[in-house]
Amino acid sequence: METCGNIAKELGNWGEVLDYYRRASELFNECGRVQPAADALAKGARALEESSPDEAIQLYTDACSLLEEDGREQMAFDLYRAGTSVYLKLERYEDAATFLLRWGLAADHCNAVNSQCKAYLSAIVVYLYAHDLKQAEKCYNDCSQIDAFLKSDQNRCASKLLSAYAEGDIEEIKRVAQSSSISNLDHMIIRIARKLPTGDMSALKGKEPVDEEPLDENDLT
């Protein structure tokens, strides 16, 4: 089935690529071979990234689910990375951040604390790149409920970034984006972090107070 999928790829028959790799995965799974089943889906996803990115993402997601259901979350990390990369290429930033948060949860389940914290910081960076400060702050607050992230360098980095955004301090944002916590993230996240800030920063600053006329105590209308 996998060989047929590869031949279909060479011929550009993308629908058949999907079918063959899915069938290969099903057959492996029926034999109780979860890792090869997930690998088959990943091979199909890589073959479809350019021509059918939505199908590729679904295959990556299904492969992650297979591994997680079998208690092999750590084996899914590369698949989460690949799926996030496709989302970013499609400029589907909210979906990319959601996928990163799911990666963080998978890392939590297998006690991969460093990967978990990096995934959460990455999600916050993605929201900031999409110029969605409100969602970035919500993501930060939610993730900070997790003790491992709260005490991490990644948390401190995210806090500095959000503070710089709140103050409209472009130079500080750029400085934090060059920090070691950012440099240790995946290349796809480093690339967008180094482009921060995006959008209109003036809109994030507090508006000037409107001048009010003094109250005339004799005029109660």
Looking up residue 50, the CATH number of its domain turns out to be: 1.25.40
Identify the pLDDT of residue 200: 79
Mark which of 70, 86, 115 sits at the end of a domain.
70
Q: With respect to residue 170, please indicate whether it lies within any of the assigned structural domains.
A: yes
Question: Do 117 and 47 share a domain, yes or no?
Answer: no
- The answer to whether position 79 is within a domain reads no
Q: Is residue 122 part of a domain?
A: yes
pLDDT at 221: 39
One domain, residues 103 and 168: yes
Shared domain check, 101 and 38? no
Provide the pLDDT confidence category of residue 29 given band limits of 50, 70 and 90: very high
| Alpha helices for 74-152 (secondary structure H) | 77-89, 93-109, 113-129, 133-143, 147-150
Q: Do 128 and 66 reside in the same domain of the chain?
A: no
Q: How many helices (H) and strands (E) does the chain have?
A: 13, 0
What does the pLDDT average to over 166-185? Answer: 96
d(CA 9, CA 194): 35
Q: Are residues 131 and 195 in the same domain?
A: yes
What is the token pair recorded at 183? Answer: 């440099």
pLDDT at residue 215 is higher than 50: no
Looking at the fold, whether 185 and 138 belong to one and the same domain comes out as: yes
- Residue 212 forms part of a structural domain: no
pTM for the full model? Answer: 0.88
Work out the average pLDDT over 72-98. 97
Asked which of 52, 70, 88 is the last residue of a domain, the reply is 70
> How far apart are the C-alpha atoms of 139 and 157, rounded to whole Å?
14
pLDDT at 205 over 70: no
Are 66 and 38 in contact, with CB atoms under 8 Å apart?
yes
Output the pLDDT for position 219.
46
pLDDT of residue 210: 34
109 within domain boundaries: yes
Q: What range defines the domain where residue 25 resides?
A: 1-70
CATH code of the domain containing 116: 1.25.40.10
Per-residue confidence band for 64, with pLDDT thresholds at 50, 70 and 90: very high
Identify whether 149 is part of a domain.
Answer: yes
Q: What is the pLDDT of residues 116-170, one digit of tens each?
A: 999 999 999 999 999 999 999 999 999 999 999 999 999 999 999 999 999 999 9
Instruction: Give the count of domains, the chain.
Output: 2
Q: Tell me, yes or no, whether 91 lies in a domain.
A: no
Q: What is the mean pLDDT of the chain?
A: 92
pLDDT of the residue at 89: 97
List the structure tokens of 98: 């959601």
Residues recorded for the chain: 221
